[in-house]
Amino acid sequence: MALAHVSRRVISNQIRCFAAANQETSLVHVEKQFEAIEPEKRDKDAFMAAIATFKEKRGRTHVEFINTALKYVKEYGVHKDIDTYKGLLEVFPKGKMIPQTVFQKVFLHYPQQQNCAVKVLDEMEWHGVQPDKEIHDIVVNAFGEWNFATKKVKRMLYWMPKLKHSNKYLDRRHVEGKSLSPSELAGIALKMMSRDAASSISLLKLSDSSDPQQKWLATSQSPMQQILISELRKGDEVFVDAAKVYLQDRVIPFITLTGNTKLEPLNEFKNEDMDEDYTNWYADWQKQRGEAKRSIHEQDHETIFAMGAMYKDDNATAIRWIDNLQKTNPNMENLRFRVRLEGNPIISRK
C-alpha cells in the first residue's frame, strides 16, 4: 500500500516535471503526457496519476483530455477496471452542465461534453465492465437526471446486469478479475464445454512446483465416452485435433479426440400422424425402452471420445496425453491415432 502511494507520487512528479519543462517552449498535446511514461511503467497508478495531475491544473480542455485518455486505457491495462472510468467521469465539472431552462432540457445541453461522456460509457460497455450506482451518481451530478448521457448510464444499469449471465455454461465470477494459471483456465474451459453432466475433469501434473515451466495435462471424459471407446473395433482410426475456445476475452487452446460417426444422421423430423395401431403396444414400448439411445457425444459428423488441454500444443505432448488416457481406456491400445496438431500428422500404428 505504502509502496503504491510512493510510486504514484514519483510518477506524478515525472509528469509535472515533463509538463513544466515543456511549458515555456510550446503547447503540449495531452497525448504526450501518456506517451511520456515508459511502457513498463504503464499501469493503473500511472493512469490515475495522470488524471490527478490534470485535475490539479483544472484546464478547460477536459473533453480533449478524456478523449485522449480513452485511447490509452488498453495500453495502460486499465480497460477492465471500473475505477478508471469513475476517475475519467469525475473529471467533468459538477453541476455546471445541468440544464436549468426548458430549452436547455429539450436540446442537447453541452453536446461535446455529453458525447464525450457517452464515449467513456461506450468504452466501458464494450469491455464488459459492469456499472454501479456510483457511476450513475457521478453522471447525474455532472449532467442532470434525464439527459443524453444519463439515459445511457441508466440503460446500461438496466440491461448489463440482465445480460451478465447470459452464458449459462460459465460462471464469469470465477474468471473475471482473477489471475488464473493456464491449467485453471483450461479446467474452467473444459467444464464449460462438457455438456455431459457425468463428465469428470482431471488434471495430471508432470512437474513439481520447482520447475519454472509448469507441465500439465487436463482431460475431460464421461463414462459414456469410455463406453463408446470400448465399443470401437481393432484398427479403427481416431483423430486428435486442436481447437480454440474463448473464456470471456481469454483464448484457451484445447484438443479433442474424435472418431468417425457410425450412426445414421439424426432425423429430427417428427411424424405428425398419430399411430392408431394398438396391437403389441406394451411389448413395443418395452422393447423401445431397452434400446440404446443416442448420446450427446455421437454427433452427425463425428463422435467425440474425450477433450483435453495441454501445457504445450504439439504432437509430442499430445502423444503423452493419449498415453495418459489409455490408463482409463484399455481399448485404446487397439486403435490407430492420427495426431494433427501441427505440421505432418503423426500416425501411430498399434
Partner 1 sequence: MHRALIRLQKLHKCNVRCLSDAAKSKEVAGISEKSKFAIRTLDNTSSIEKRSLSRGFAMNKFEKDFMIYPEYTDSDDVRNIEGFVDVLRKSLELSVDSKLIEKEGKLASDTIEALRSNAIFSLAIGKYFDGIGMCNKDLSKVFEELSVDWNVYTTSHISLLVANILTIYGSDEQKSKYLGILGSGKLRPAVAIVKDTNGGVCEQTAGPGGKSMLNGQNIRVMGHHNANFYVVFGNNNGEKTCFLLDEAELGTTDKIQFTRDETIGLKGIDVGRIELTALVTDKNLLGTPGHGSEIASELVGSGRMPFAAATIGMARRALRELSIWCNRTPSRQNDRTTLADDSRSQRIVTELALKVYALESSLYYLSGLIDEGLSVVVDIENSLLSIMTRDVLQAVISAQLELVGVAASDASFPHEKLFRDVTTLLSIIDEGADVEQIGLATIATWATSTSHKRVVSTLKRWLKNEKEADELRNPGLSHYIAEHAHPSLQLACQELEFSMSRINNVVSKLLTSQGKNIEQDYGSLEALVNVLKNNLVMVSTISRASRSYSIGLRNADIELAWATIICSRLSRATWFELDSLSDLFGLVRFNPSLLNAGRAVFDLGGYIIESPLEKNW
Residues in contact with partner 1 by CB under 8 A are: 161-165, 168, 171, 197-198, 223-224, 227, 289-293, 295
Least spacing, CB of residue 162 vs partner 1, in Å = 4
Grid cell at residue 92 = 467533468
**Minimum gap (Å) between residue 247 Cβ and partner 1:** 16
Q: Is the distance from CB of 239 to CB of 257 less than 8 angstroms? A: yes
Do 108 and 59 form a contact (C-beta atoms < 8 A)? no
Residue among 97 and 306 whose Cβ is closer to partner 1? 306
Helix (H, G, I), strand (E, B) or coil at 296: coil
Provide the minimum distance between the beta carbon of 31 and partner 1 in the complex, in angstroms, as a whole number.
37
Residue 227 CA, distance from chain mean position = 33
> Closest approach of Cβ 224 to partner 1, in Å?
7
**Minimum CB distance to partner 1, residue 167 (Å):** 10
Q: What is the β-pairing status of strands 346-348 and 200-205?
A: unpaired
In 3D space, the residue among 23, 111, 113, 108 whose CA is nearest the CA of residue 66 turns out to be 113
Query: Do residues 144 and 151 make contact, with C-beta atoms less than 8 angstroms apart?
Result: no
Please identify, using beta-carbon distances, which residue of 289 and 349 lies nearer to partner 1. Answer: 289
Q: Which is nearer to partner 1, 8 or 191 (CB)?
A: 191
Q: What whole-number distance in Å separates Cα of residue 203 and Cα of residue 186? A: 10
Q: How far is the CB of 261 from partner 1 (least distance, A)?
A: 16
Q: How far apart are CA 15 and CA 50, in angstroms?
A: 7
Specify whether the CB–CB gap between 340 and 240 falls below 8 A. Answer: yes
Residue with Cβ nearer partner 1 (224 or 245): 224
By beta-carbon proximity to partner 1, the closer residue of 85 and 92 is 85
Q: How far is the CB of 8 from partner 1 (least distance, A)?
A: 25
- Cα–Cα–Cα angle for 327, 333, 339, rounded to 5 degrees: 95
- Alpha-carbon distance of 246 to 257, in angstroms, equals 19
* Of 204, 200, 199, the residue nearest 217 (C-alpha): 204
Residue 255 or 304: which CB sits closer to partner 1?
304
For partner 1, the closer CB: 167 or 207: 167
